[in-house]
Amino acid sequence: MLACIIMYAMAATHFSLTISWIFQSDKQSVVAQTTIAQCLTNLTLSTPCTLQHYINANPIPVGSDCLPAIMLTIPIILSDAIVLWRAWVLWGRNRTILAVSAALLLATFGLAVKSTSYQCHLFTTSWLEFVDPYGVASWMLSWVTNVWATGLIGWKAWRHRQLIRGDLRGAINGTQAEKALMLFLESGILY
């Protein structure tokens, strides 16, 4: 429950920071468009133009993307840990499952930390758009982690269903264990 509260609080904070950034970015966009228009006018007059004076006059503060990156990273790691924990418990605390899950979670965490560090120091020299390679790798690894955990839960649910298939033919609602397994599987697929 505490993990859910933390994740919701961070998501709300990330949302508000994103809205704030959009408004700040919109103001800077108007200045950038004016500067680019002036540069294009200068180019038609054969006057050299550089955007460096704009970058120097309108720096985005160092670390402006740090807090949103942190607010996004922590819930991703927490949710991955929760879904991996569910799969591990469902598989009887199997050590192989634990080892693979821990490796996936640690790799995702390492890439997420590197991504956050990258984003915190990115805007020191340029205001141009960027693609964070560590963030993309972290998201992909998080996706692999969720496919792994959901696959484990789905496999266990399928095997359980096969074992009790004969008993369920007359039942309408299924067993409590089947309902719990389907809840795990559906929540993993939706995530």
Mean pLDDT of the chain: 76
Q: Is the dihedral of CA 93, 94, 95, 96 positive or negative?
A: negative
Q: What stretches of 31-75 adopt beta strand conformation (E)?
A: none
Q: Could you give the number of structural domains in the chain?
A: 1
| Backbone phi, psi, residue 58, to 5° | -130, 60
pLDDT band at 61 (very low <50, low <70, confident <90, very high): very low
* H-only helix segments in the chain: 2-44, 52-57, 66-90, 95-120, 133-163, 165-168, 176-190
Q: What share of the chain is helix, strand, coil (3-state, %, to 5)?
A: 80, 0, 20
In the predicted structure, residue 171 carries a pLDDT above the cut 60? no
**Mean per-residue pLDDT, 78-88:** 92
What is the C-alpha separation between 26 and 22, in angstroms, rounded?
A: 6
Given pLDDT bands bounded at 50, 70 and 90, which one contains residue 63?
very low
Task: Give the H/E segment covering residue 62.
Answer: none
Percent of the chain whose pLDDT exceeds 70? 60
Task: Specify the length of the chain in residues.
Answer: 191
3-class DSSP state of 47: coil
pTM for this predicted structure: 0.63
State which residues form the domain around 44: 2-190
